[in-house]
């Protein structure tokens, strides 16, 4: 397989969560080109499960790739840039899919003892495909005994594995708050309840939850990424919407932060005489690396001379955490050396990481099955 061509073809067609129709068709077409003797395929929504039957299986090994893109207008200047206006593979899922396809090809062409399931999961960026996929009959039928996955990391050198035992990624929750008040003429503020002012007060006081309600030895993040409201510069806004995300290192801290947000929103309702509705959108469970499985991966990396860095926890989220809650395994960062970070319109991961990662992933599957 020409990995760079595959990655570029996928890069051209980023699709949002549960709309990955072209991506699914592309992946199915590539899977069809592999030797079919030991392959079984199931489609689940816009995702795919591929099983490679082992010669005399003792365990089922799972490798997961996410497949969705982000609503970002690409600015990389690539001649293979996104053909889908306003969407971009800005979180490296084009890399993840290419690596999964490459490892699948290696295992399909070189039979091993154990069964291997390659999981192409939709909607990681939202609303979250991992949990419903995990609960599906299709997944249950081929449930792995061990599962692993990777995520590209712009800040590490190409091909470096960054990993830690235990907590790797945070608990996350989306946050959407709609404020509703009374609009009116800009010249008569005393006759209205201005939701631009209410939302602004809320956004500025929100950070005091992190500085005054979360134990300073613990960590949490609240980011507001979008505010909308009002209709015209000389009309007092009767509505405003605040959109953000919450990150916490434990489910308990997540509960505390949400409780405090609800208190503050209640206060805004009182002081601005308005109504507010909170919606927590998609919630992801923390990514917690099983210490024994991580140790076995570290031993494999050492044996094969793959460069490893033991990293700190990150406040990123991943719905892969739901798989790891149920099945022992791990996730690791794969260095792709890009000046621009994840979720940036100019993310340019180094394609040399692709073949290195295919070797790491297929090699570990072979190591587990030896
Ligand atoms: C690796 C990564 O960047 N993951 C995303 C996950 C999104 C979670 C959810 N949609 C949210 O915004 O809270 C991240 O933003 O960390």
Express each pLDDT in 165-202 by its tens digit: 999 999 999 999 999 999 999 999 999 999 999 999 99
Its ipTM equals 0.96
My answer on whether 9 and 138 are in the same domain is yes
Q: For the chain, what is the domain count?
A: 2
CATH of the domain at 222: 3.30.70.360
Q: Where are the beta strands (DSSP E) in 122-170?
A: 146-153, 161-163, 166-169
- Ligand 1 within 6 A of 151 CB? yes
Q: Which of 233, 267, 283 is the last residue of a domain?
A: 283
My answer on whether 18 and 123 are in the same domain is yes
Does the annotation place 93 within a ligand binding site? yes
Q: For residue 246, give the ligand 1 atom closest to its CA.
A: 13
My answer on whether 65 and 145 are in the same domain is yes
My answer on whether 8 and 108 are in the same domain is yes
Ligand 1 atom 11, closest CA: 174
My answer on whether 24 and 133 are in the same domain is yes
- Ligand 1 within 6 A of 68 CB? no
My answer on whether 50 and 130 are in the same domain is yes
Taking the C-alpha atoms of residue 106 and residue 361, their distance in angstroms, rounded to an integer, is: 10
Q: Nearest-CA neighbor of 150 among 93, 197, 208, 68?
A: 93
- Ligand 1 within 6 A of 66 CB? no
My answer on whether 291 and 210 are in the same domain is no
Expressed in angstroms and rounded, the spacing between residue 232 Cα and the centre of ligand 1 is: 32
Taking the C-alpha atoms of residue 367 and residue 53, their distance in angstroms, rounded to an integer, is: 16
My answer on whether 79 and 153 are in the same domain is yes
Which positions are catalytic?
66, 125
- For the record, the structure tokens of 215 come out as 């134990």
Ligand 1 atom 5, closest CA: 317
pLDDT in tens, 234-254: 999 999 999 999 999 999 999
- For the record, the structure tokens of 289 come out as 């690396």
Q: Nearest-CA neighbor of 175 among 78, 37, 103, 282?
A: 282
CATH of the domain at 16: 3.40.630.10
Expressed in angstroms and rounded, the spacing between residue 284 Cα and the centre of ligand 1 is: 8
My answer on whether 160 and 25 are in the same domain is yes
The per-residue pLDDT for 1 is 84
- Ligand 1 within 6 A of 172 CB? yes
pTM, full prediction: 0.93
- Res. 369 pLDDT band, cuts 50 70 90: very high
My answer on whether 175 and 163 are in the same domain is no
| Residue 30 scores a pLDDT above 90 | yes
């Amino acid at each position: 397989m020409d990995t760079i061509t595959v990655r570029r073809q996928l890069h051209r067609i980023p699709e949002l969560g549960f709309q990955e129709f072209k991506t699914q068709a592309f992946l199915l077409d590539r899977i069809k080109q592999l030797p079919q003797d030991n392959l079984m395929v199931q489609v689940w929504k816009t995702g795919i499960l591929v099983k490679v039957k082992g010669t005399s299986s003792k365990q089922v090994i799972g490798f997961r790739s996410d497949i969705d893109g982000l609503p970002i207008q690409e600015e990389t200047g690539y001649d293979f840039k996104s053909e889908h206006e306003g969407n971009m593979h800005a979180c490296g899922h084009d890399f993840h899919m290419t690596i999964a396809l490459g490892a699948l090809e290696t295992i399909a062409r070189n039979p091993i003892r154990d069964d291997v399931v390659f999981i192409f999961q939709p909607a990681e960026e939202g609303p979250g495909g991992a949990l419903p996929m995990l609960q599906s009959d299709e997944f249950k039928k081929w449930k792995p005994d061990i599962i692993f996955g990777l995520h590209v990391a712009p800040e590490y050198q190409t091909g470096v594995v960054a990993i830690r035992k235990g907590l790797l990624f945070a608990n996350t929750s989306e946050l959407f708050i709609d404020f509703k008040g009374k609009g009116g003429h800009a010249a008569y503020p005393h006759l209205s309840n201005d939701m631009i002012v209410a939302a602004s007060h809320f956004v500025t006081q929100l950070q005091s939850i992190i500085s005054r309600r979360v134990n300073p030895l613990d960590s949490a993040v609240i980011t507001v990424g979008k505010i909308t409201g009002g209709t015209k510069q000389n009309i007092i806004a009767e509505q405003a919407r605040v959109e953000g995300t919450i990150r916490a290192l434990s489910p308990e801290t997540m509960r505390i932060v949400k409780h405090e947000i609800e208190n503050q929103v209640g206060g805004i309702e009182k002081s601005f005489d308005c109504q507010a509705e909170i919606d927590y959108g998609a919630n992801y469970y923390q990514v917690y690396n099983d210490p024994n499985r991580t140790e076995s991966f570290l031993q494999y990396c050492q044996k094969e001379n793959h460069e490893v860095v033991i990293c700190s926890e990150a406040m990123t989220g991943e719905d892969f955490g739901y798989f790891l809650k149920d099945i022992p395994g791990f996730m690791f960062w794969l260095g792709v050396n890009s000046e621009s970070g994840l979720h940036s319109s100019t993310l340019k991961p180094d394609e040399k990481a692709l073949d290195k990662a295919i070797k790491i992933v297929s090699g570990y599957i072979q190591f587990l099955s030896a």
